[in-house]
Every structure is written in C-alpha cells, then in structure tokens.
Chains A and B, each alone.
Chain A
C-alpha cells in the first residue's frame, strides 16, 4: 500500500514543514524580542492573510484582471462585504462560495 521512496519523501516534507513551524518559537524567547521587532510582528497576521488571498482575487490566472469578468474578484467582494457587515464566518464563506458556484453554473 505504501512505497518506501514515497514514504521517505513524505517524511522529508514533514521534517521541512515542522522546521518552519517550530524554529521561531523554539529559539525566540519573549524577553529577547525588542519593542521595535514586536511592533513589526504585530502586523504579521493581517499582512500574511492579505498576501495569501490578494493574488488569487486580483490575478487568478497569473495576470491582473480588474474586471467584471473576474469571478474570483466578484465572489471575493461579496464575501468581504458580508464580513464587513459583521456576518458570522459561515455566512461570509457560504456567500462567497455560493456566488462562485452561481457564476460557474449559470454564467451570470
């Protein structure tokens, strides 16, 4: 059921991934972090969430598409509006995915 070389590759991926997750908290103590660095780190969550989605929404096919023909941008706008008006995450995600399905199914 499992091939040795595939399992070894998966273990290597797991080690590489765990290294990226464990390293910072393992070597950085809270006391050793300067106020200036803390001020920078505070913004990492917002920055990383944005960086993970912005290209998918604005350039889903590898080039910038700022038009009504970009279904990702339309569904993303709907989801963002729902979240902005303080809808729960389920409504935000459901609304976004339903919009995407509607565009794909009916070509709205």
Chain B
C-alpha cells in the first residue's frame, strides 16, 4: 500500500467534491420528500453509490414502481460503467479479483475521471484510485446524511442553481483533457451526437450512443494519422 499515492488520490479528488456535495444534499432532501425513510435513503447511498441512478429511482419509488423496473432502470443508466471499466481494465490487469471488486465498487464518474486522467498522464496506481474512491464515497455518504437532516426545511434545492454543480464538475474534469486536436474532435463528436440523441431518443441511451460513436471516431482518426506517419 503506497501511502503517498493514496493521499495524492484524496488531494486530487477533494476539489471535485465541491460539485458532488450539493448533489448528495439534494438527493437526501428529495428522498425525504417522496417518503423514503432516513435509513433507506442512507442505505441506498452506501450500497448503490451512483448519483444518477439514485435520483431517477426516487420518482419511481414515489409512484410505487416494482423492484424489477427500478433495478432495470439502474442497470440501464449505469451501462456507461461497462465502457469506463473497459478503459481502466488494462491498467488493473495485475490486481487480484477481490482488489478489482473493491476498486470498481467505488468507480463513479468523478473518481473514474480523476483516476484515468492520472493513469494516462503519469501512470496507474491502485492506491491512488483507492484514495480517490474513498474521498468520493465518504463525501456521498456525508452529503446524503446532510440532506436527510435538512429534510423538509429546504423545499427544492435544485432551484438554487445546485443542479449546475454536476455540469460544472464535469467541465472542470473535461476541459484540461482537451490538449490536442484528437481530443477536441472526440469532444465535438460526443457533444453533437449526445445533444441530438438526447433530444430525439427517450431515456438515457444518449450517453452510451454518444460515447461509443465519439470513441470509435477518435480511434479511427488516430489510426489514419498513424498510417500517414
């Protein structure tokens, strides 16, 4: 266990948590308002640890949707993890299966972005990933608890501009990656496809569709550039 890299992971993830905390608060508050108990609300954050899936489950709980429907929706929204996991898989090759299980349990959008950016820049570190994951997990649990405590005192936290916390966080993670022509092109393709797909196709399929087409476009463009050399 490399302590220094563990703390580096924490240090690099903490600033990003400023954008995650309001979302955890909002989740806790909204969950109370639709009638989940404090215990159920916190349990979901501890076991599921996936903001988008948790948020979308709330109206379904309120409407009395069945277990299969709610779990299937969580599965669909989280399908992007398959792609994220594929891109991390080569780096995690040397780890045991239990280590992989522990580290992938904590792979959320933010901890993944921090971990893979570090891996691509200066190399992968399991200790670093663990530090990032622990930071994300603790923040999510604490902010959920905060939302439960605030409960009904704040009616609609998202109207305060807090719903912009998530896009702002992802922008802070995305923009520093756009350092070369290829990354900018991938970003433009993903933006175009995701916007059109989000408008045209119901549900959250636009995330997978846009990610696949942009990553394929990036791979093809890179291949043709290499052929020219």
Q: Which residues of A contact B (CB under 8 A)?
A: 1-3, 5-26, 28-31, 33, 36, 38-59, 62-64, 72, 75-76, 79-80, 83-84, 86, 88-90, 92-94, 96-97, 100-101, 103-104
Contact at A17–B172, with CB atoms within 8 Å? no
Q: Is B139 an interface residue (CB 8 A)?
A: no
CA distance A72 to B170 in the complex (A): 13
Q: Is B155 an interface residue (CB 8 A)?
A: no
CA distance A19 to B172 in the complex (A): 28
CA distance A64 to B109 in the complex (A): 25
| Chain A interface, DSSP helix/strand/loop, else mixed | helix
Q: Tell me the nearest residue of chain B to A5, going by C-beta.
A: B67
Q: Tell me the nearest residue of chain A to B95, going by C-beta.
A: A25
Contact at B87–A55, with CB atoms within 8 Å? no
CA distance A63 to B198 in the complex (A): 9
Q: Tell me the nearest residue of chain A to B45, going by C-beta.
A: A10
Q: Across the interface, which residues of A come within 8 angstroms of B161, CB to CB?
A: 97, 100-101, 103-104
Contact at B74–A16, with CB atoms within 8 Å? yes
Q: Is B50 an interface residue (CB 8 A)?
A: yes
CA distance A88 to B189 in the complex (A): 26
Q: Across the interface, which residues of B come within 8 angstroms of A92, CB to CB?
A: 168, 171-172, 175
Task: Decide yes or no: A45 and B87 within 8 Å by CB, A5-B67, A50-B174, A79-B171 being known contacts.
Answer: yes
Contact at B67–A9, with CB atoms within 8 Å? yes
